[in-house]
Structure 1
Amino acid sequence: MHKPKITLHLCAPRGFCAGVDRAIQVVEEALRRYGAPVYVRHEIVHNRFVVDTLKEKGAIFVEELDEVPATDQPVIFSAHGVPKHVPETAEGRNLLYLDATCPLVSKVHKEAILHERRGREIVLIGHAGHPEVEGTMGQLPAGAITLIETPEDARAFTPRDAGNLAWISQTTLSVDDTAEMVEILKERFPQITGPQKGDICYATTNRQEAVKAVAPKVERMLVVGAPNSSNSRRLVEVAERNGCAKATLIRRAAEIDWDDLAGISDIGLTAGASAPEVLVEEVVEALRERFEVKLEVVTTAEEDITFLLPRTLREQAA
């Protein structure tokens, strides 16, 4: 059978970041040390395949701590971070808890706490309802942080004291969208304090840069990731803004719309920071079954960042 030819432009970096890698390791190491079950509050990372794999190994996922019975088994907090009341509740119930919050999210939490101590009013750029945003806002009393989601919000925001403001952001946003909102805030409030290097994490930035490099070369972009993954959804937007006619978020190969790829000769492929490489490989294999594939890897950055496991797990290893 004659297969049509395509060039597959594979973005690098893509897929797992150091924070996701660490969070999954926390669950796996806890299962190894303590045996099953271990309890995990919320999806450890936003990926159904990862969650299901960990369930098979003995992890039980809950939405809130009241679903966890009285137990000596550990409870793990997800990579997105948790409001302050969650560890306090765990301590009140004498639960052993392990915090798998990404260190780059913890950095934003510390920034928020420091700004409040210095008496600054805080603006958080992020998406309402996202667990990371709930975790960051939950570090401080209600009303201490104002959420800004859009440029319109940035224009409409009225502070209590324009000379005493600080901004922080969710780590998984669109770099360009965030820059636009920061510019509006700086224009309106020249004295506003921001993080030294910005809060958007290196992995989000790097994955968006790779997509920007590939987008103008391709007619379609496939983004492997979960619908509730903020950084994956941003990759779809970045692709379409930077010259790709259509980008599609897929959980795995089974979701590829083959009719949409008919007659296409250049396809881009990337994956969000919580999508495992095995799912990318699955998509590549599915494409090879239907097309004669010429593979081109487009590398825009090298990543060698790793994060240590929480101290409790490290101490026991020692």
Structure 2
Amino acid sequence: MKVILAQPRGFCAGVVRAIEIVEQALTKYGAPIYVRHEIVHNGYVVEKLKAKGARFVENLAEVPSGARTIFSAHGVARSVEEEAASLGLPVLDATCPLVAKVHSQGERYVQQGRAVVLIGHAGHPEVEGTMGRIPGPVHLVQSEADVDKLDLAADTPLAYVSQTTLSVDDTKCIIAALKRRFNDIVGPETKDICYATQNRQSAVRELSQLVDVILVVGAKNSSNSNRLREIGAEARVPTFLIADRTELDLEFLREAKIVGLTAGASAPEILVEDVIDALRGLGPLELSMLPGVEENIEFKLPPELDDH
């Protein structure tokens, strides 16, 4: 069997930073440290941090008075920030800097007097956070059909922003529909989108030209991992989202000659290595990696934790 690894895959800089914030906080302040929502959407990562003393909660009411609290990489609404302040919780913010950039773009558009449209998935914590950061009503659209339903006049000054786990390719049809419907519309430049989302999706498209089956290592509640699976399926390649090696269907894979392997932005490389190890159980394995984008972006830690 040949196994071709996508490049890039796995952790992005925002995820690395968020996990490091929890680990450094545990080292500096001691356990327990409370984290609102899963720090990133990956069960393996969450369990490893729990074992070190992190406590994950969905509501700040679950946090003991005065306990150090971390906001997850997805970002939070301003109301959550205000609630933490009212409860006297010392907070470390692990919001991905690219998500924070979307927040500030949205705020800037409102200051310009524009109505704001957010392209994203209803109910996703990043979307809830973004909608709660941008003052005034934010119109959420998930499809071109949603654009048609917007109760706004064609000459309304409009701006759009998007969820970071959507790529340029994911949003281009919705943006085109917005531009057809509204004549005064602005949005962020292409270079402002999440580099990690676009790079991982491009790598899966490339992979799909070369393999019989694609395995995406990632959590079921990970938006970007689900999208990688969809991209493989759109290319008519059988594509499976698996949390780890225990979810592999080895009997199905026995017939595969060339397997493509990638991982969502919140899935650690150790899970990819475990899957490769499990595939070795089927017989001799030839491993190679796609030539792809080398990512060398690093995001700084909050000043309270940054000793450099």
TM-score normalised by the chain length of structure 2: 0.96
- Aligned residue number for residue 194 of structure 2: 201
Contact (CA 8 Å) 1:116, 1:122: kept in 2 or not?
yes
Change (3 A) 1:198 1:154: farther
Residues 169-199 of structure 1 deviation map (CA, whole Å, 9 limit, x = unaligned): 0000243231111111112224210002365
Residue 310, structure 1, aligned to residue 302, structure 2: yes
Could you tell me which of 261, 266, 269 is aligned with 1:274?
Answer: 266
Contact (CA 8 Å) 1:231, 1:272: kept in 2 or not?
yes
Residue 20, structure 1, aligned to residue 15, structure 2: yes
Residue 103, structure 1, aligned to residue 97, structure 2: yes
Give the distance between the partners of 1:220 and 1:80, measured in 2 at CA.
31
- Aligned residue number for residue 52 of structure 1: 47
Give the distance between the partners of 1:110 and 1:74, measured in 2 at CA.
26
Residues 57-109 of structure 1 deviation map (CA, whole Å, 9 limit, x = unaligned): 000000010000113x3100000000001111111121100000000000000
Query: How much has 1:243 moved relative to structure 2?
Result: 4.2
Give the distance between the partners of 1:161 and 1:92, measured in 2 at CA.
42
Give the distance between the partners of 2:34 and 2:74, measured in 1 at CA.
16
Give the distance between the partners of 2:291 and 2:183, measured in 1 at CA.
37
Contact (CA 8 Å) 1:216, 1:243: kept in 2 or not?
no
Residue 234, structure 1, aligned to residue 227, structure 2: yes
- Give the aligned residue type for 1:25: E
Residues 267-306 of structure 1 deviation map (CA, whole Å, 9 limit, x = unaligned): 1100000000000000011001213111120022110000
Give the distance between the partners of 1:291 and 1:192, measured in 2 at CA.
56
Could you tell me which of 74, 79, 83 is aligned with 1:80?
Answer: 74
**Local SS of the residue matching 1:147:** strand
Structure 1 unaligned residues grouped into runs of 5+: 1-5
Residues 21-78 of structure 1 deviation map (CA, whole Å, 9 limit, x = unaligned): 000000000000000000000000000000000000000000010000113x310000
**Local SS of the residue matching 2:155:** coil
Residue 123, structure 1, aligned to residue 117, structure 2: yes
Contact (CA 8 Å) 1:8, 1:269: kept in 2 or not?
yes
Query: How much has 1:208 moved relative to structure 2?
Result: 0.4
**Local SS of the residue matching 1:26:** helix
Residue 138, structure 1, aligned to residue 94, structure 2: no
Structure 2 unaligned residues grouped into runs of 5+: none
Give the distance between the partners of 1:152 and 1:299, measured in 2 at CA.
38
Q: Once superposed, what is the RMSD of the aligned Cα atoms? A: 1.4
Give the distance between the partners of 1:209 and 1:250, measured in 2 at CA.
20
**Local SS of the residue matching 1:254:** helix
Identity of aligned residues (%): 52
**Local SS of the residue matching 2:31:** coil
Contact (CA 8 Å) 2:4, 2:290: kept in 1 or not?
yes
Could you tell me which of 176, 187, 199 is aligned with 1:183?
Answer: 176
Give the distance between the partners of 1:133 and 1:127, measured in 2 at CA.
7
Could you tell me which of 44, 57, 61 is aligned with 1:62?
Answer: 57
- More off after superposition, 234-243 vs 105-114: 234-243
- Give the aligned residue type for 1:10: L
- Give the aligned residue type for 2:76: V
Residues 221-272 of structure 1 deviation map (CA, whole Å, 9 limit, x = unaligned): 000000110000000011122342x100000001001222131111110000
- Give the aligned residue type for 1:46: H
Give the distance between the partners of 1:299 and 1:123, measured in 2 at CA.
36
**Local SS of the residue matching 1:282:** helix
- Aligned residue number for residue 159 of structure 1: 152
Could you tell me which of 250, 267, 270 is aligned with 1:258?
Answer: 250
Give the distance between the partners of 2:154 and 2:114, measured in 1 at CA.
9
Residue 112, structure 1, aligned to residue 106, structure 2: yes
Number of residue pairs matched? 308
- Give the aligned residue type for 2:82: E
**Local SS of the residue matching 2:19:** helix
Contact (CA 8 Å) 1:81, 1:102: kept in 2 or not?
yes
**Local SS of the residue matching 1:313:** coil
